Amino acid sequence: MIRAEWFYWLVGLIFVVMAGQMAVDRSNPKRWGSAAFWGLLGLGFGYSSFVVSGHAPAQPLGVAVLVMVCLAGFGFTGRGQQRTTSEEERQRASDRLGGKLFLPALTIPVVAMVCAVLVKKVSIGGQPVLEKGSETILGLGIGAIIALVVGLIVVKERNPGVALHAGRGMLESMGWALFLPQLLSILGAVFTAAGVGDQVGKLVGHVLPHNDTFLAVVVYCVGMALFTVIMGNAFAAFPVMTAAVGWPILIQQMHGNAPCVLAVGMLAGFCGTLCTPMAANFNIVPAALLELKDRYGPIKAQLPTAGGLLVCCVGTISLFAF
Amino acid sequence: MIVLLGVLVVVLGFATKRNPLLVVGVAGIVTGLLGKLSVSQILATFGNGFASSRSVTIFAITLPVIGLLERNGLQAQARKVIARLSRLTTGRYLALYLLLRQLTAAVGLSTIAGPAQTVRPMVGPMAEAAAERRGKVAELPDRVREKVLSFSASADTVGLFFGEDCFLAVGSILLITSLVDASYHVNLEPVQLALWAIPIAACALVIHGARLLWFDRRLDRELAAAAAEAQPAAVTTTSEETAR
Predicted local confidence at residue B109, as pLDDT: 66
Distance between CA A186 and CA A44 in Å, rounded? 14
Q: Which of residues 24-43 of B touch A (CB under 8 A)?
A: 24-25, 27-29, 31-32, 34-37, 40-43
> Which residues of chain B are modeled with pLDDT < 50?
235-244
In this complex, do A264 and B196 lie within 8 Å of one another by their Cβ atoms? Answer: yes
Our CA-based measurement puts residue A126 at a distance from the nearest CA of chain B, in whole angstroms, of 22
Given its phi and psi angles, is residue B72 left (phi above 0), alpha (psi -120 to 50 degrees) or beta? alpha
Predicted local confidence at residue B241, as pLDDT: 45
Predicted local confidence at residue B85, as pLDDT: 63
Q: Where does the pLDDT of residue A151 fall: very low under 50, low under 70, confident under 90, or very high at 90 and above?
A: very high
Predicted local confidence at residue B242, as pLDDT: 46
The per-residue pLDDT for range B173-190, each reduced to its tens digit, is 777 877 777 667 777 777
Residue of A61, A112, A145 lying closest to B51 (CB–CB) = A61
pLDDT > 80? residue A175: yes
In this complex, do B10 and A231 lie within 8 Å of one another by their Cβ atoms? Answer: yes
Give the mean pLDDT of chain A.
Answer: 88
CA angle A140, B61, A160 (to 5 degrees): 115
CA angle A308, A311, A315 (to 5 degrees): 140
The per-residue pLDDT for range A248-276, each reduced to its tens digit, is 889 988 899 999 999 999 999 999 999 99
CA angle B158, B124, B157 (to 5 degrees): 15
Given its phi and psi angles, is residue A84 left (phi above 0), alpha (psi -120 to 50 degrees) or beta? beta
pLDDT > 80? residue A124: yes
Query: What is the reported pTM?
Result: 0.73
Q: Where does the pLDDT of residue A48 fall: very low under 50, low under 70, confident under 90, or very high at 90 and above?
A: very high
Radius of gyration of chain B (CA): 24
Share of chain A above pLDDT 90, in %: 43
pLDDT > 50? residue A182: yes
The per-residue pLDDT for range A27-47, each reduced to its tens digit, is 889 999 999 999 999 999 999
Could you tell me which residues are beta bridge partners of residue A128?
A123
B126 versus A309: the higher-pLDDT residue is A309
Distance between CA A170 and CA A174 in Å, rounded? 6
Predicted local confidence at residue B239, as pLDDT: 45
B156 touches chain A (CB under 8 A): yes
DSSP structure string for A177-214: GGGHHHHHHHHHHHHHHHTHHHHHHHHHHHHSPTT-HH
In this complex, do A280 and B51 lie within 8 Å of one another by their Cβ atoms? Answer: no
Predicted local confidence at residue A79, as pLDDT: 87
pLDDT > 50? residue A65: yes
Identify which of B70, B145, B121, B212 has the alpha carbon closest to the alpha carbon of residue A292.
B145
To 10 degrees, the CA torsion angle through A10, A14, A19, A25? Answer: 160
CA distances from B56 to A91, A183, A282, B24 (A): 34, 10, 11, 17
Our CA-based measurement puts residue A137 at a distance from the nearest CA of chain B, in whole angstroms, of 7
**Lowest-confidence pick of A118-132, A190-204, B71-85:** B71-85
Predicted local confidence at residue B42, as pLDDT: 94
Q: Which of residues 193-212 of B touch A (CB under 8 A)?
A: 193-197, 199-200, 203-204, 207-208, 211
With CA atoms as reference, the chain A residue closest to B145 would be A292
In this complex, do B62 and A66 lie within 8 Å of one another by their Cβ atoms? Answer: no
Mutate to test the interface with A, among B39, B45, B97 (most CBs of A within 10 A): B45
Q: Which residues of A touch B27 (CB under 8 A)?
A: 187
Predicted local confidence at residue B86, as pLDDT: 58
Distance between CA B185 and CA B235 in Å, rounded? 73
With CA atoms as reference, the chain B residue closest to A144 would be B62
pLDDT > 70? residue A110: yes
Helix (H) or strand (E) holding A127: strand A127-128
Q: Which residues of A touch B44 (CB under 8 A)?
A: 57-59, 62
pLDDT > 80? residue A289: yes
Mutate to test the interface with A, among B34, B126, B143, B157 (most CBs of A within 10 A): B157
Angle formed by the axes of helices A234-241 and B171-184, nearest 10°: 30
Predicted local confidence at residue B84, as pLDDT: 65
Q: Where does the pLDDT of residue A20 fall: very low under 50, low under 70, confident under 90, or very high at 90 and above?
A: very high
